[in-house]
Amino acid sequence: MLNLLQIELFKISRRPRTYIAFAAITAIVFIFQFAFKADGESYMNLLLQSVNDTFEFEKVRAINGYFMCYIILNTLLIQVPILVALIAADSISGEANMGTLRLLISKPFSRTQLILVKFAAATIFTLLLLLWMAITSLLFSLLIFGADDMLIFRSKGDESQILLITKDDVVWRYLAAFAYATVALTVIAALSLLLSIFAENSIGPIIATVCIVIVCTIISNLDVPIIDKNVKPFLFTSYLVGWKGFFYIATTSEGIPIKGSIENWPAIRKSLLILLLHIGILVAAAVIIFKRKDILS
Amino acid sequence: MSPIIRVSHLSKHFKDTRAVDDLSFTVNEGDVYGFLGQNGAGKSTTIRMLLSLVAPSGGEIVIFEKKLSTHRSEILRRVGAVIEKPDLYKYLSAYDNLSIFARMSGMKVTRQLLMKQLQMVGLGERAGSKVRTYSQGMKQRLGIAVALVHNPALIILDEPTNGLDPQGIADMRNLILKLSNELGKTVLISSHLLSEIEMIANRMIIIHKGKKMVEGRVVDLLDPAHSLIQIETHDNDAAKEKLQQTKWVSFLQDGKQISLMMNKDEVPQLINDLVAMNVELMSVNSSHSLENYFLSLTTLPGDVEPFAN
C-alpha cells in the first residue's frame, strides 16, 4: 500500500495541473495582503459594515497578521473545494481517459487498495494545499503585518459581537482550524473520487463536484424552518465553515474572554463526526461501486 | 505441457448483448497462442476477463492452475499484458513509466534493470524523453517493456500490431518469437489477421460472435490437405460435368465456381486430368481452406457454422 501511495504521489507531483491550485492560492493571498497593506482602512470599512454602527474604534489598528489570516481563510475556504476537486476528480476518470486504468487494474493489487490509495493521495494533496495556505496566509501575513492581539467580528442573529483573542492564544486555534478545514475539504475529495468512477474524463466529475457543493451550500444557507430541521443537519456543506468555531472564544458572565477556551466545543465535535461520517460513506460507496465496475475504457 | 490458461464455459453479457458465449480453450506452457476473430468477435472482452478488468457472467478461468476469481493478485504477479493501445503516462518519461509499473508489480527496481529493459525494446537512448513525444511504434515497444519488466511467465498481447507500420509489425513479430523461443514465455496474442497469427503462433483459436469456431495446432489447421483449389475454365459448366465423372467428384464443392477442397500436393495430377479431358484452363488458384473460412466470417452476413476440421 505504501509503495502504491508513493507512486500515486509521484504521479500527482509530476502533473502540471497540481500546481495550478498552489499558484491560485498564492495569487489570491498576495492580492489580499497587498490590498490591505495599500488601503486597509477602506477594506476594513467595507468588511465591517455590519458592525460600523455598533462599535466605534480605529479599525486599521485591528489589522495584523492573525487578523489577515482570518479574513483570507474566510474568503478562500469557499473557493478551495474547486481546487481540491481539480485533483481528486481526476483520480479514476483521468486514468480512464489516459487509458492507463486497464493497466493499473491488471496489476497485482486489489481495486479496494487502488481506491484507498487514490483517496489517501487526494487527502495528502488537500493537506498540502492547506499547509501552503497556512504558510502564505498566516506566516507571510505575520511577516508583513506583524503579530498582535486578534479581533474577531461576529454576527449572531441581529447582534454584532467583537471578540478579543490575545496573541499568545491564537496559534493553536489556527492549527486546529486548519486541521478541521482539512477534514472538511477531505469530504470534497471523497465526493470527487466517487464521481470520478463514473466518468472517462475529469471535466465531468469536476463540474459535478462544484455543482453539488454550490447547490448544497445554497441549501445550507437557506433560512426555511423545514429545511433547517430536515435537510441541513445531513448536508456536509452545513459544516464546512465549522473551523470558525475555534475562534469563538468563551466569555465569563461579565463578557471577559477566557483564554484557551472555545465557546461550543460539542458543536465542533459533532460537526467533525458528521464530516468524518460523510467521508466514510463516500469512500465506502466508491470502493463498492468500483469493485463491481467493468473496465471497458 | 501443463496448461497455463484453462477457460471453461466462459460467458459475458452486456445487457442484451452476448459478447462471449460459452467459450472454452486451453493455453499450454510455452505456447504462442493465437486468439483470432474479426473486430467485435469478443477477443478483447475475453482478454479483459483474463486480466480481471471485466467480471465474467459465467464460467471459470484458471491460470497457473489457480482460479482467477480467488487468486487474482497471485496470478497477475506472473502476467504481463498490453491491452489494445499501450497507453501510458504521457507526462512522464519512458523510464518513469517503466519504474512505476515495475514497482506496482511488486518488483524492487534498479536503474540498471530498467535501462536494460528499455534497451531491449530499442528505447535506451530515449529513456528520459516524455512519452507524449513518442511515435505509436515507440509507445508500443514501451508497452511491451512494461509488460515484460517483472519477468512474467505469461504474456497477453491484445492486438499488439495495431497502428504499427510494416517495420514495426516485423519488429513486434520478432520480439514475440524471441520471447517464446529464447525466453520460454507463454504468449497469448489476439489479432484479426490470420496471416499474422499464422507466422508466430503454434496454436490458435478462432472466435466469432463470442463463440469458439475452431481451435487447434496451427500446422494442423493450415494443413495443405485443407486447401481450397479454385479453377476457372473456358466453360465452367462443361468442365464441372466432366469432373463429376472422375475421382475428383468427392472433392468438389457446391457453387457456380469450380472449387475443390483437397490436398495441395494433388493439384498437378488434377491439372493433368483436366488437360487430358480437353478442358481449357484459364487459371488455377490455391488458398488455405481456413483462410477462406476466416474470410467468410468477416464478409458473410449472418451466423456461420463452426468449422469442421
Residues B273-291 have pLDDT tens digits of 989 988 888 888 887 766 7
Q: What is the distance in angstroms between the Cα of A3 and the nearest Cα belonging to chain B?
A: 7
* Cell numbers that stand for A8 in this block: 500515486
User: What phi and psi values does residue B180 have, to the nearest 5 degrees?
Assistant: -80, -50
Whether the per-residue pLDDT at B53 is higher than 90: the answer is yes
User: What phi and psi values does residue B32 have, to the nearest 5 degrees?
Assistant: -105, 105
* Cell numbers that stand for B74 in this block: 497471485
How far, in Å, CA of A45 to CA of A55, rounded? 12
Say which residue, A284 or B239, is predicted with more confidence.
Answer: A284
Tens-place pLDDT, residues B213-249: 878 888 877 776 777 788 888 888 888 888 888 888 8
Nearest CB among A4, A99, A108 relative to B77 is that of: A108
Whether the per-residue pLDDT at B300 is higher than 60: the answer is no
How far, in Å, CA of A46 to CA of A140, rounded? 23
Question: pLDDT band for position B309 (50/70/90)?
Answer: very low
Decide if the complex's ipTM is over 0.95: no
Q: What is the model's pLDDT at position A20? A: 87
Whether the per-residue pLDDT at B154 is higher than 90: the answer is yes
Tens-place pLDDT, residues B205-223: 888 888 888 788 888 777 7
CB contact under 8 A, B55 and A292: yes
Tens-place pLDDT, residues B62-118: 999 999 999 999 999 999 998 877 789 999 999 999 999 999 888 888 898 899 889
CB contacts < 8 A, A to B, total 78
* Cell numbers that stand for A69 in this block: 489570516
- B281 DSSP β-pair partners: B233
How many other CB atoms are there within 10 angstroms of residue B74's CB atom?
13
Q: Which residues of B touch A297 (CB under 8 A)?
A: none
Nearest CB among A98, A109, A296 relative to B87 is that of: A98
Query: Residue B90 is which amino acid?
Result: K
Strands B186-191 and B203-208 turn out to be: unpaired
Full-model pTM: 0.83
Q: What is the model's pLDDT at position B298? A: 58
Q: What is the distance in angstroms between the Cα of A102 and the nearest Cα belonging to chain B?
A: 7
* Cell numbers that stand for B305 in this block: 457454422
Whether the per-residue pLDDT at A186 is higher than 80: the answer is yes
Whether the per-residue pLDDT at B305 is higher than 70: the answer is no
Note whether A276 and A183 are within 8 A (CB). Answer: yes
Q: What is the model's pLDDT at position B100? A: 92
Q: What is the number of residues in chain A?
A: 297
Question: pLDDT band for position B37 (50/70/90)?
Answer: confident
User: What phi and psi values does residue B289 have, to the nearest 5 degrees?
Assistant: -65, -30
Return the axis-axis angle of helices B111-120 and B94-104, rounded to nearest 10°.
110
Question: pLDDT band for position B151 (50/70/90)?
Answer: confident
Q: What is the model's pLDDT at position A56? A: 61
Question: pLDDT band for position A147 (50/70/90)?
Answer: confident
Whether the per-residue pLDDT at B308 is higher than 50: the answer is no
Average pLDDT of the residues of chain A: 87
Whether the per-residue pLDDT at B61 is higher than 50: the answer is yes
How far, in Å, CA of B175 to CA of B177, rounded? 5
How far, in Å, CA of A84 to CA of A113, rounded? 21
CB contact under 8 A, B48 and A296: yes
What lies within 8 Å, CB to CB, of A242 at 6+ separation is A180, A184, A267, A268, A271, A272, A275
Q: What is the model's pLDDT at position A157? A: 66
Out of A103-117, A143-157, B233-247, B254-268, the most confident range is A103-117
How far, in Å, CA of B40 to CA of B37, rounded? 8
Q: What is the model's pLDDT at position A268? A: 93
Mean pLDDT within A170-184: 92
CB contact under 8 A, B101 and A102: no
Whether the per-residue pLDDT at A57 is higher than 70: the answer is no
Q: What is the distance in angstroms between the Cα of B117 and the nearest Cα belonging to chain A?
A: 18
Report which DSSP code applies to B85.
Answer: S
CB contact under 8 A, B100 and A99: no
Q: Which residues of B touch A110 (CB under 8 A)?
A: 72-73
Q: Which residues of B touch A107 (CB under 8 A)?
A: 76, 101, 104-105
Q: Which residues of A touch B107 (CB under 8 A)?
A: none
Question: pLDDT band for position A160 (50/70/90)?
Answer: confident
- B66 DSSP β-pair partners: B63
C-alpha pair distances (Å), B80 with each of A269, B147, B157, B169: 49, 4, 8, 20
CB contact under 8 A, B51 and A106: yes
* Cell numbers that stand for B138 in this block: 515507440
Question: pLDDT band for position B307 (50/70/90)?
Answer: low
Say which residue, A236 or A157, is predicted with more confidence.
Answer: A236
Q: What is the distance in angstroms between the Cα of B152 and the nearest Cα belonging to chain A?
A: 12
Mean pLDDT within A13-27: 88
Tens-place pLDDT, residues A97-135: 888 999 899 898 899 999 999 999 999 998 998 899 889
| CA closest to A11 among chain B residues | B92
* Cell numbers that stand for A124 in this block: 495528502
Q: What is the model's pLDDT at position B54? A: 93
Q: What is the model's pLDDT at position A55? A: 58
CB contact under 8 A, A106 and B55: no
Instruction: Say how far residue B126 (Cα) sits from the centre of its chain.
Output: 30
Q: What is the model's pLDDT at position A279? A: 96
Q: Which of B89, B132, B151 to mutate to test the interface with A (most CBs of A within 10 A)?
A: B89
- Using H for helix, E for strand and C for coil, what is the string for chain A? CHHHHHHHHHHHHCCHHHHHHHHHHHHHHHHHHHHHHHHHHHHHHHHCHHHHCCCCCCHHHHCCHHHHHHHHHHHHHHHHHHHHHHHHCCCCHHHHHHCCHHHHHCCCCCHHHHHHHHHHHHHHHHHHHHHHHHHHHHHHHHHHHCCCCEEEEEEECCEEEEEEECHHHCHHHHHHHHHHHHHHHHHHHHHHHHHHCCCCCCHHHHHHHHHHHHHHHHHHHCCCHHHHHHCHHHCHHHHCCHHHHHHCCCECCCCCECCCCCCCHHHHHHHHHHHHHHHHHHHHHHHHHHHHCCCCC
SS3 B263: coil
Over its C-alpha atoms, chain A yields an Rg (Å, rounded) of 21
Q: Which of A6, A107, A110, A117 to mutate to test the interface with B (most CBs of B within 10 A)?
A: A107
User: Which alpha helices (DSSP H) does B7-53 contain, by range?
Assistant: 43-50
How many other CB atoms are there within 10 angstroms of residue B276's CB atom?
9
Q: What is the distance in angstroms between the Cα of B305 and the nearest Cα belonging to chain A?
A: 29
* Residues in chain A whose Cβ is within 8 Å of chain B: 3-4, 7, 10-11, 14-16, 98-100, 102-110, 292, 294-296
Q: What is the model's pLDDT at position A53? A: 60
Return the axis-axis angle of helices A111-134 and A16-47, rounded to nearest 10°.
40
What lies within 8 Å, CB to CB, of B10 at 6+ separation is B20, B22, B23, B24, B46, B49, B56, B58, B59, B60, B61
| CA closest to B146 among chain A residues | A103
Q: What is the distance in angstroms between the Cα of B91 and the nearest Cα belonging to chain A?
A: 7
| CA closest to B76 among chain A residues | A108
